[in-house]
Chain A
Amino acid sequence: QSALTQPASVSGSPGQSITISCTGTSSDVGAYNYVSWYQQHPGKAPKLIIYDVYKRPSGLSNRFSGSKSGNTASLTISGLQAEDEADYYCTSYTGSITYVFGTGTKVTVL
């Protein structure tokens, strides 16, 4: 199972919006609405920020939003803040009873 494809890096200035893509296939992202996104700061465990394509965990900022079109899911961070600087990973359930993670995107706040 190949990793989902994400851009290696995305950057933006404080207050701007950025979007991270996550491209899979018709066997994973395109087949199921089970895409989730995770934020990981250096040396820390990943943290769930979006699940089931667009749902936010209770208490999470509404600056994070998710969507999907075909085989590509997207995470948008609006009103970019310094604390958003981190690595971001998508994941999807696959048809072979496993999960696959994305390659990861480093977000830099300029």
Chain B
Amino acid sequence: EVQLVESGGGLIQPGGSLRLSCAVSGLTFSDYWMHWVRQAPGKGLVWVSRIRGDGRETNYADSVKGRFTISRDNAKHTLYLQMDSLEADDTAVYYCAGVLGARFDPWGQGTLVTVSS
């Protein structure tokens, strides 16, 4: 069974840092580009970042560039998102997703990040 399990979310003050993790099982992890997608409360999906299967290429949405860092450990089948200088607008459920070609599948269940003082 394919499973993506996010963790690391929580309440953090503005300007703080948080690291999200996404543990993956049931698929050949290194074959997949891995992505982070977020969804603010009551709002739509927004693409955040992606990393190539070998970890050597990364891309970011303009809204997080310079503040967020995506990485992966293929030996541990785990994806990460280091989030620094957090802002209230970063409050969202963060989903990890595996992408082959251009299809986002599978998805994790999401982890909630709340940035508030």
Please report the total number of B residues contacting A with Cβ < 8 Å. Answer: 21
Contact string, B87-117, partner A, CB cutoff 8 A, digits 1/0?
Answer: 0000000010000011111011110000000
Q: Are A100 and B47 CB-contacts (below 8 A) given A45-B95, A52-B101, A52-B102? A: yes
Q: Chain A: interface residue count, which band?
A: 20 to 34
Residue of A nearest to B59 (CB): A97
Q: In terms of DSSP, what is the predominant structure of the interface of chain B? A: strand
Residue of B nearest to A104 (CB): B44
Which residues 18-59 of B have a CB within 8 angstroms of A?
35, 37, 44-47, 50, 59
What 16 additional pairs, Cβ within 8 angstroms, besides A38-B45, A93-B102?
A: A36-B103, A46-B45, A46-B95, A46-B104, A48-B104, A51-B102, A51-B105, A52-B103, A89-B44, A91-B45, A97-B59, A98-B47, A98-B59, A98-B61, A101-B47, A104-B44
